[in-house]
């Protein structure tokens, strides 16, 4: 991650998730430069875990993503805990919001995140149960091999 000192803060500190290529990064830089801002910190897309930690800790007031895909990618990866970001007072911004949807995407993202979280919780629980059952069966099979010696011929 890199840190740049911006103009005097109007909307506070900004965390920016970098784009995947030069064009995307240029669009992000232009957006951040045009907005009145204070301290700006850039996070590479591979550092979503660090971005999440920083936003959850309340170090930033705004989080800027290129578009909905970039934000949702962070959520799918498991590092986009946007409920905790909100609790920390972070405002989400998209440089390129969905067409004709300047602000309505926020409600969609909230609902998507809530649904995804529920699905992940259920999936984790199912996987834990499956792992326990498979381990118990494999253990029982190993005991059979250890205890029951086949007859010699």
Partner 1 sequence: MIAIGLLLLVPFVMWCGQSLLLKLHGLPIRYRLDSGDAPRAVRTWGRVITQGSILALIMAYPLLVQGQSPIEFYGAMLPIDGSLKLFAHGAAAATTCLCVLFAIWIATDRMRVDVHQSRRRWMRRLLLLPATAVFGALAEELLFRGVLFSDLLKTFSPSVTVVIGTLIFASAHYVRAVKRWWTIGGHLALGVLLGVSFLVTDRSLWLPVGLHAGGIMMIMGARPFVRYRGPAWLTGASIFPYAGVFGIVGLGVLTAFVARYYGAS
Interface residues with partner 1 (CB under 8 A) are 123, 126-127, 129-131, 134-135, 137-138, 140-142, 144-145, 148-153
Q: In this structure, are residues 48 and 18 in contact, taking their beta carbons and an 8 Å threshold?
A: no
Considering the complex, what minimum distance in angstroms separates the CB of residue 117 from partner 1?
17
Distance of CA 52 to the CA centre of its chain: 6
**What's the DSSP call for residue 65?**
E
**Closer CB to partner 1, 9 or 127, in the complex:** 127
Cβ burial, residue 94 (10 Å; 0-12/13-18/19+): buried
Q: In this structure, are residues 3 and 50 in contact, taking their beta carbons and an 8 Å threshold?
A: no
Considering the complex, what minimum distance in angstroms separates the CB of residue 148 from partner 1?
4
By residue count, the chain amounts to: 153
Considering the complex, what minimum distance in angstroms separates the CB of residue 96 from partner 1?
30
Strands 2-4 and 40-43: antiparallel
- Separation CA 50–CA 57 (nearest Å): 11
């Amino acid at each position: 991650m890199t840190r740049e000192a911006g103009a005097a803060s109007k909307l506070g500190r900004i965390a920016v998730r970098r784009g995947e290529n030069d064009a995307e990064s240029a669009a992000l830089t232009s957006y951040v430069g045009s907005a009145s801002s204070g301290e700006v910190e850039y996070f590479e897309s591979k550092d979503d875990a660090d971005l999440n930690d920083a936003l959850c800790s309340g170090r930033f007031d705004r989080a800027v993503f290129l578009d909905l895909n970039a934000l949702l990618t962070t959520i799918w990866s498991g590092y986009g805990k946007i409920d905790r970001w909100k609790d920390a007072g972070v405002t989400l911004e998209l440089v390129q919001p969905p067409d004709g949807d300047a602000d309505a995407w926020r409600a969609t993202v909230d609902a998507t995140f809530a649904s995804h979280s529920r699905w992940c919780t259920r999936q984790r629980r199912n996987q834990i149960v499956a792992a326990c059952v498979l381990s118990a069966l494999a253990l029982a099979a190993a005991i059979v091999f250890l205890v029951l010696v086949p007859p010699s011929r």
